[in-house]
Amino acid sequence: MLPTLNIQNLSFARLDRYFIKDLNIQLLPGEILQILGENGSGKSTLLRILAGLIEPTDGTVYWENRCIFKNDTDYKNVLRYLSDRNALKSYLTVEENLKLVIALGSTESNYLATSQLCHSREGGNPFGIDSRLRGNDRKEQVVERRECNIKHLLKKEVQYLSLGQRRRISFTKILLNPGKIWILDEPMTGLDKKGQEWLNTSLEKHLNANGIIIIATHQPLLLKNTIKTIQLGDISLA
Amino acid sequence: MRELTSYFVFIQAELKITLRQAFSWITPLLFFVIVVCFFPLALGPDTELLQSIAPSIIWVAAMLAMIISMGSLFKIDADDGFLDIILLSPRSLTMLVFCKILSHWIMHALPLIIISPLLGFLLHLGTKELVVLMITLALGTPVFSLIGGVGAGLIIGIRNHGLLLPILIMPFYIPILIFGTGTIHLAEANQPVLAYYAIMAAILLVTLAFAPLFTGMALKIGVNQ
């Protein structure tokens, strides 16, 4: 049976207002869901619910038939979440930030989630990273890749970087150990044209390797894959 | 990466962050020194009076200095989004919280303990009392950090929380404050202090066992606000 992400009757209300009401979606490997909506329509909140950070008012989310809010360790191993705030420590260098992310996420089950994804269709890592590498060795290989374009920033403290550079590093954190499910909140904010191309290519590679992506963005997604969309405010599945 | 190495890297990163923003650990230390130094200025050079109230002054100043720093324990992580990384990490949340509290204690309480003999000397405490003061602070300040962690976790989702944190955690500081000052008074009276040490260590162990777990739960509730 294919591992699926199942969103069932999901509702979220705050201060007597429903941001999300009776949302039902099933995401299979290789599928992408784009969340659209005006500012304040609840896009980030929905992403935080799907990441398991916020509990919904009603309904639930299942990963491989297990509720993500009850048994969350398996889900944490496959999930990579990019919030709108980059999650970088300003007073640490880029290298130290990457090292910290490796320290917090580098369990063997966590790497296994990526290995399963990478070998599922193409028989190799879709991002050109040797799946056998662990921790800092993998970091070295990721930052060496030209498309990441962060090697020259490694020794700089994050506080001195531009918005686009910070976004680029945040996304590189995901590529260190890509997992199966990507939840991305406005990943293209601040990225230049090259950066956006890199992000679109990475999204496509992840989908082609049977990954699942949930993304909130106002930028057009230049993907060959079919994109499922939901519009918040007026919830409809396209 | 091995489990323990990961926690070590996390503690190391936390210490680096605090060291690089010097104001965050120097401010509580300066506050501690200034508050204690003001008492001899205000009370005058009455050696006996200063000696008798010295334990209380130092302990209350240490408690307030630590409360100042507690507010930022998880706030910066919540603001820059790093708290999400902590909550979504497959590593044990309780252990990660413990590492954060431990680094907080190292950067915010350890300097107070190191400088406390100097301030005790200023308030005419004897050598024996200074040693007792350091030991009690070493046993008591981790309890402040651990209990403060639970409070800091609970208020994470509240904007403009003002004085909510001190109101929330200070009542739980009372027992350790009583035993901390009481031990030094006993030492001054040449009474045995071992039983008081044992009680303080017991409080520390109980807090150590439960506070990181409760802090993790508080953080999960906090981000839901």
Among B3-7, B83-87, B136-140, the minimum mean pLDDT is found in B3-7
d(CA A126, CA A149): 18
What tokens were used for A103? 């320290």
Residue of B9, B80, B87 lying closest to A100 (CB–CB): B9
Mean pLDDT of the residues in chain A:
83
d(CA B91, nearest CA chain A) in Å: 6
Residue of B17, B85, B224 lying closest to A104 (CB–CB): B85
Nearest CA in chain A to B88: A76
Q: Are A231 and A218 spatial neighbours (Cβ–Cβ below 8 Å)? A: no
Distances (CA, A) of A7 to A23, A32, A73, A96, A155: 7, 14, 18, 36, 42
Q: Which residues contact A27 (CB under 8 A, 6 or more apart)?
A: A4, A5, A6, A7, A33, A212, A214, A228
Asked if B224's CB is within 8 angstroms of A55's CB, the reply is yes
Domain residue extents for chain A: 5-231
Asked if B20's CB is within 8 angstroms of A91's CB, the reply is yes
* Structural domain range at position B96: 3-223
Tens digits of residue pLDDT in A168-207 = 999 988 888 788 899 999 999 888 888 898 899 889 988 9
What tokens were used for A72? 């969350």
Tens digits of residue pLDDT in B149-158 = 999 999 988 8
Q: What is the pTM of this model?
A: 0.89
Specify whether domain A5-231 bears CATH 1.10.10.60: no
Residue A235, pLDDT above cutoff 60: no
Nearest CA in chain A to B222: A54
With cut-offs at 50, 70 and 90, classify the pLDDT of residue B39: very high
SS3 state of residue A103:
helix
Tens digits of residue pLDDT in B127-170 = 999 999 999 999 999 999 999 999 999 998 887 777 889 999 99
Asked if B79's CB is within 8 angstroms of A85's CB, the reply is yes
The residue behind tokens 């040693």 is B131
d(CA B111, CA A5): 50
Asked if B79's CB is within 8 angstroms of A53's CB, the reply is no
Residue of B6, B82, B88 lying closest to A106 (CB–CB): B6
What tokens were used for A152? 């020259």
The residue behind tokens 């639970």 is B150
Q: Are B188 and B175 spatial neighbours (Cβ–Cβ below 8 Å)? A: no
Tell me which long-range contacts A144-148 makes (C-beta under 8 A, separation of at least 24). A147/A198, A147/A201, A148/A172, A148/A175, A148/A198
SS (H, E, C) A212-224: EEEEECCCCCCCC
d(CA A74, nearest CA chain B) in Å: 8
Using a CB-CB cut-off of 8 Å, the residues of chain B touching A89 are 13, 17, 80, 82
Average confidence (pLDDT) over B173-197: 95
With cut-offs at 50, 70 and 90, classify the pLDDT of residue B2: confident
Asked if B223's CB is within 8 angstroms of A53's CB, the reply is yes
A8 contact B CB<8A:
no
Tens digits of residue pLDDT in A81-118 = 999 898 999 999 998 998 898 888 866 666 666 666 55
